[in-house]
Amino acid sequence: MNTVDGFKGIMALELDNVPRIFHDALIKQHKQDIVNYKNYQASLPEELRYENNIGNALNNIRLYDKIRHRRNECVINEAELRYKELLEKSS
């Protein structure tokens, strides 16, 4: 897989289905887009920047996913314990 990494609000550039003769120009443009994006983000007020909006939202999603996963594990563990207790009582 032939890809060039992106940056925060810019997705990675995938070159698999692009003819080789265009790779250099596309990579150069992609890197320039990243530089332009960084400059644009630096010009924004802090509360409007990507990392303070989308970045925080993504971090919150990851955090809530971890919390939900832990809760689910606890529920499963409790159900397994109840099942084992019922098996022991019935034996």
Same domain? 29 vs 58 = no
Is the separation of the CB atoms in 60 and 19 below 8 Å?
Answer: no
pTM: 0.61
Same domain? 30 vs 56 = no
pLDDT at residue number 52: 81
- Residue 73: pLDDT band with limits 50, 70, 90: very high
Question: 27 is in which domain, residue-wise?
Answer: 1-43
Same domain? 30 vs 55 = no
Number of domains present in the structure of the chain:
2
Give the model confidence (pLDDT) of 14-49 as tens digits: 999 999 999 999 999 999 999 999 999 999 998 888
Consecutive H or E run containing 13:
strand 13-14
User: How confident is the prediction for the chain on average, in pLDDT?
Assistant: 90
Is the separation of the CB atoms in 28 and 39 below 8 Å?
Answer: no
Does residue 3 sit in helix, strand or coil?
strand
Average pLDDT over residues 56-64: 91
CA distances from 72 to 34, 65, 77, 80 (A): 40, 10, 9, 12
